[in-house]
Amino acid sequence: MTPVLIAQRVVMVALPFVCMYLIVLTVMQFTQTTEPQKPMARIPSVKVLYWNWFRGAPQIAIDTEEQLGQLEDAKINAILLGVMIAGDASSATLKFNGKPEAVYHKGDNLGSNTSLVEIEPYRIVVKQNGINRQVLMKKPDAIMTSEEASSDQSAEENGFALANMFGAVPVNIGGNSGLKMNNLSDEIKILADIQEGDVVMQVDGLSIQSLLEDPTKWMSYSGSSSLPVTVIRQGQEEIIYVNAASLSAKMLPKLGLSQ
């Protein structure tokens, strides 16, 4: 018997078994019980900002979503000028009518049956008569018209005031600190070539972090009519030139400084 005939007979014998195997697989595929797939739980995305405003404060990850939900406005005769998020060391700057602005921490008493229970970006949560209520941050353009700051104001409080003047939100780009400009007043737009959404990274080569840590450094720029400022604008790094003399005349009194 030739090899060709042997191969043909082997194929003829094996073919029925192969066909039977395929039939069984097909039947099993249509008859097996399939458990309906459960929807996969979606992990909510959280917008996180990183910043370190002042020396000695550790870098903190901030969840900008409100942690305690929507709350009614508190009945309190005070304005929230700024907040610093730094874990247990977080603080808020408040100004009560007829009193100079002051820094408060969680647990501090703010008045009759009112205590500070939480500090979040753009607001604080107070407990009044056992009920949580909120105090939202004052608009930056209104802060520009606030009373002149006292001369003994600390550098940390000055850093709050400087950032709040520009409606600034601290951000981190490529490992470097910056200030994103939001809700700019018309006055600031006229005095400086700053646009909504600009992220200021450097002033005359000085990092924005250094300027926030010690706003008195701004005094050295008060005579410049063409101050180079490095910004990220629409994703591109640009250098704009600011009339610091005019801007300083408006800013320094708000920081309790003089030219």
Task: Give the tens place of pLDDT for each residue, 192-224.
Answer: 777 888 888 888 888 887 776 776 676 677 677
Spatial contact of 191 and 137, defined as CB atoms under 8 Å apart: no
131 is a domain residue? yes
Determine which of 17-26, 64-73, 150-159 has the lowest per-residue pLDDT on average.
150-159
Looking at the structure, tell me whether residues 77 and 120 fall in a common domain.
yes
Crossing angle for the helix pair 244-254 and 155-165, nearest 10 degrees?
Answer: 130
Q: How many domains would you assign to the chain?
A: 2
26 is a domain residue? no
Confidence check: pLDDT of 117 > 50: yes
Spatial contact of 121 and 83, defined as CB atoms under 8 Å apart: yes
Q: Which of 101, 106, 41 is nearest to 68 (CA)?
A: 106
Q: Indicate the residue among 119, 136, 153 that finishes a domain.
A: 136
Spatial contact of 212 and 203, defined as CB atoms under 8 Å apart: no
What does the chain come to in residues? 259
Q: What pLDDT, on a 0 to 100 scale, did the predictor assign at position 226? A: 82
Give the H/E segment covering residue 103. strand 102-105
Looking at the structure, tell me whether residues 164 and 219 fall in a common domain.
yes
Looking at the structure, tell me whether residues 169 and 86 fall in a common domain.
no
Looking at the structure, tell me whether residues 222 and 131 fall in a common domain.
no
Q: Indicate the residue among 115, 136, 157 that finishes a domain.
A: 136
75 is a domain residue? yes
Looking at the structure, tell me whether residues 128 and 55 fall in a common domain.
yes
d(CA 250, CA 11): 96
Give the H/E segment covering residue 248. helix 244-254
- Domain membership of residue 229 as a residue range: 140-254
Note if the pTM is more than 0.75: no
Looking at the structure, tell me whether residues 150 and 229 fall in a common domain.
yes
Q: How many CB atoms sit inside 10 A of residue 111's CB? A: 14
Looking at the structure, tell me whether residues 178 and 154 fall in a common domain.
yes
Average pLDDT of the chain is: 68
Looking at the structure, tell me whether residues 122 and 192 fall in a common domain.
no
d(CA 86, CA 11): 78
Confidence check: pLDDT of 110 > 80: yes
18 is a domain residue? no
32 is a domain residue? no
Q: Indicate the residue among 84, 106, 136 that finishes a domain.
A: 136
The sheet carrying 131-136 orders its strands as 109-111, 114-120, 123-128, 131-136
pLDDT class for 107, splitting at 50, 70, 90?
Answer: very high
159 is a domain residue? yes
199 is a domain residue? yes
Give the H/E segment covering residue 93. strand 91-96
Looking at the structure, tell me whether residues 149 and 130 fall in a common domain.
no
Q: Which residue has the higher pLDDT, 156 or 233?
A: 233
- Check which CATH number belongs to the domain holding 170 and give it: 2.30.42
Q: What pLDDT, on a 0 to 100 scale, did the predictor assign at position 13? A: 66
Q: What pLDDT, on a 0 to 100 scale, did the predictor assign at position 27? A: 65
Give the H/E segment covering residue 211. helix 208-213
203 is a domain residue? yes
Looking at the structure, tell me whether residues 85 and 185 fall in a common domain.
no
